Amino acid sequence: MPPSAEAIKIVAQNRKAAHDYFLEEHVEAGIALTGSEIKSVRAGQMQIKEAYVTIERREAFLHNAHIATYDPAARQNHDPLRRRKLLLHKKEILRLEAQIRQKGYTIIPTRVYLKHGLAKVEIALARGKRQYDKRQAIAKRESQREIERALGRRR
């Protein structure tokens, strides 16, 4: 593997995010985790389906991300749903905070991965889709499949 290639292992993905939201801007952030949490994340025991990000007093926090308890940690285990601080530059936090003040915008995590042994979360600035937007996206995807099938049969 060349030295410029990044070693990334995806731990959790929010596949439904693209279905429920228009994802406009993606940002990579670090996560402040305890010892038992990082061991559980490395084991792939994380779920971000219902997670969201808030900004409080110029700090970003990840809420509702479920990291399963790590059995060997026993007494020193963590709360699976505790809020976790996200590590971002101050300028990024201020820019995101200004954008979520606009009506209809929120910040959601799209995936969590390990990059060079460190846990990272990709967060996205998102605007909620209406029901008709979802139907349009499904219809467009199905028509694209039909076109590809038709072209594939002719060859």
pLDDT of residue 34: 83
How high is the pLDDT of residue 113?
A: 92
Q: Phi and psi dihedrals of 125, rounded to 5?
A: -75, 125
pLDDT at 155: 55
Query: Which DSSP string corresponds to 80-125?
Result: TT--EEEE--HHHHHHHHHHHTSTTEEEEEEEEEEETTEEEEEEEE
pLDDT of residue 87: 92
Domain boundaries, the chain: 8-129
Residue 86, Cα to own-chain centre: how many angstroms?
Answer: 12
CB atoms within 10 A of CB 153: 7
Q: Does domain 8-129 have CATH number 3.40.47.10?
A: no
Separation between Cα atoms, residue 60 and residue 84, nearest integer Å: 9
For residue 122, the model assigns a pLDDT of: 93
Residues of the chain with pLDDT under 70: 1-6, 132-133, 153-155
Give the per-residue pLDDT at 1: 45
